[in-house]
Chain A
Amino acid sequence: MSVGDSHIDRDLCGDNAAPYVLGALTEHEHEAFRLHLESCAVCREEVAALQVVASALPAVAPQLSAGPELKRRVMASVYEDVGRSEAEEPALSVRSKRGSKLAWLQWRPLLASGALAAAAVVVAVLAIVSGGGGGAGTRVIRAEVTPPHASASLRVSGGHAQLDISGMPQTPAQRVYEVWIKRSGGPQPTDALFTVTAKGDATVGVPGSLHGVTVVMVTTEPLGGSKVPTSSPVIVARLS
């Protein structure tokens, strides 16, 4: 039975499946429909079918970056919990006092099945960072930057790139920085829109593959970005 079938007696069931998965029922209606679902296979099936779409809706929201301060807050609470849990089990305590993540780092290698396993992880990480194992290494290209005292470099690795920026001025009100790539033709827009921190820093991934890309550049654009540049580039990184 599909969700679009018309022969379901929607009046009997209140046609509530869609508002239920969208969170659009009142509190009372929501609870009543939840109870109704326990005895109505038709509505259960419809809710299951519509729920997968509702679960996909977050992707429609413009994607923003959660700031580092938020992560600090969350992880501080997590490690507080860890500290409390450890304190509740003193008999099993390896060390009497370990409040910081730094202390944990000293113990982490023991977590693996053995020191060898930990060493293997370290070797693997080093191989990736250094570009070993037959892959292309990391190339760092210094970019031309217009604002005085600012700097930017393009870190290229494995066909992808990341812009490391520092000392850039804040964008004017209602404008953002936008990353562009150039292949054989004119500049192509990317989805990479960003602002800089109070210190003027930013780390921005260049979307997509670098295949055929000769220039990566940054301009200031209106909110939401532009299809064609509306200002002169403030950062230009030449790959060839």
Chain B
Amino acid sequence: MQLVYRSKADAFEVIYDRHADAAYSLAYRICAQRALAEDVVQEAFLSLWRSRARYERDRGSVRTWLLGIVHNRSIDALRRRAVRDRGIVHDEGLQERVAAPERTDLDVARREEAREIRDALDELPDEQSRVIELAYFGGMTHVQIASMLDTPVGTVKGRMRLGLAKMRMALGDPAEVVQ
């Protein structure tokens, strides 16, 4: 039984090596703080490790599952911080990006796929890409976005839907692209 536990741990380490950079990149993009992003990634991987029995292959790849956890926890962390630090401006993002560790194991194919997805987002009208980015990476609710842009809530939702639908058309089936 011990060997089984440890073989699972070794297999998990392979999963970590394969997806840690993507997880950290997403967390950092949302949190803009290295320490917070690292905490989020650590929590997400441990959640993955401890709930691995619940993973259902039919519901997507491990990567998709993991990045979903990272996204949710990053947004939670961002919103908690927003409440706690209301009025405090965090300006360490740029500095920490400079200090980020070196990149290793560059995956050319995945980078090409990432470029396609970025292009699909960039090709959207500004008002559509903006609401998608504010929601997904900024952790803002549609109500907050509507208020910030001084735009009706229904318009914001419509822009999100149209933007995502156009990206889907542009990418074919991105679920297959990024696995």
Answer yes or no: do A and B interact: yes
Interface positions of A (Cβ within 8 A of B):
2-4, 15-19, 21-26, 49-50, 52-68, 70-71, 73-75, 77-79, 81-82, 85-86, 89, 92-95, 98, 104, 107-108, 110-111, 171, 173-176, 191-197, 202-208, 223
**Within 8 Å CB of B136, what residues of A?**
22-24, 54, 57
Residue pair A204, B142 in contact (C-beta under 8 Å) = no
Measured CB to CB, the nearest residue on chain B to A94 is B2
CA distance A86 to B140 in the complex (A): 44
Residue pair A203, B160 in contact (C-beta under 8 Å) = no
Residue pair B168, A64 in contact (C-beta under 8 Å) = no
Main secondary structure of the interface of A (DSSP, over half): mixed
- Say how far B154's CB is from chain A's closest CB, in angstroms: 7
Report B112-158 residues with CB < 8 Å from chain A CB.
113-114, 117-118, 121, 132, 135-137, 139-143, 145, 154, 156-158
**Within 8 Å CB of B8, what residues of A?**
82
Given A82-B5, A171-B98, 19 more A-B residue pairs with CB atoms under 8 Å apart are A15-B157, A18-B164, A19-B135, A23-B72, A24-B136, A53-B164, A53-B171, A56-B174, A57-B136, A60-B29, A60-B117, A64-B25, A75-B9, A77-B49, A86-B5, A104-B9, A107-B2, A195-B101, A205-B103
Report B6-60 residues with CB < 8 Å from chain A CB.
6-10, 12-13, 16-17, 20-26, 28-29, 38, 41-42, 45-46, 49-50, 60
Measured CB to CB, the nearest residue on chain A to B30 is A61
A-B complex: 4 closest residue pairs judged by Cβ atoms: A61-B29, A56-B174, A194-B102, A18-B160
CA distance A111 to B103 in the complex (A): 33
- Contact (A50, B26) CB under 8 Å given A58-B67, A74-B46, A204-B103: no
- Contact (A58, B6) CB under 8 Å given A24-B160, A202-B102, A203-B102: no
Residue pair B106, A58 in contact (C-beta under 8 Å) = no
Residue pair A195, B75 in contact (C-beta under 8 Å) = no
List 20 A-B pairs, Cβ < 8 Å.
Answer: A21-B164, A22-B160, A23-B72, A24-B141, A24-B142, A55-B67, A56-B167, A56-B178, A59-B113, A62-B29, A68-B101, A70-B24, A78-B13, A86-B2, A86-B5, A89-B2, A107-B2, A176-B98, A195-B99, A207-B108
- Count class of interface residues, chain B: 35 or more
CA distance A192 to B103 in the complex (A): 7
- Say how far A84's CB is from chain B's closest CB, in angstroms: 9
**Within 8 Å CB of A73, what residues of B?**
38, 42
**Within 8 Å CB of B1, what residues of A?**
86, 89, 92
Task: Say which residue of B3, B25, B75, B178 sits within 8 Å of A55 (CB atoms).
Answer: B178
- Say how far B41's CB is from chain A's closest CB, in angstroms: 6
Residue pair A92, B103 in contact (C-beta under 8 Å) = no
Task: Say which residue of B103, B118, B175 sits within 8 Å of A52 (CB atoms).
Answer: B175
**Within 8 Å CB of A194, what residues of B?**
102-103
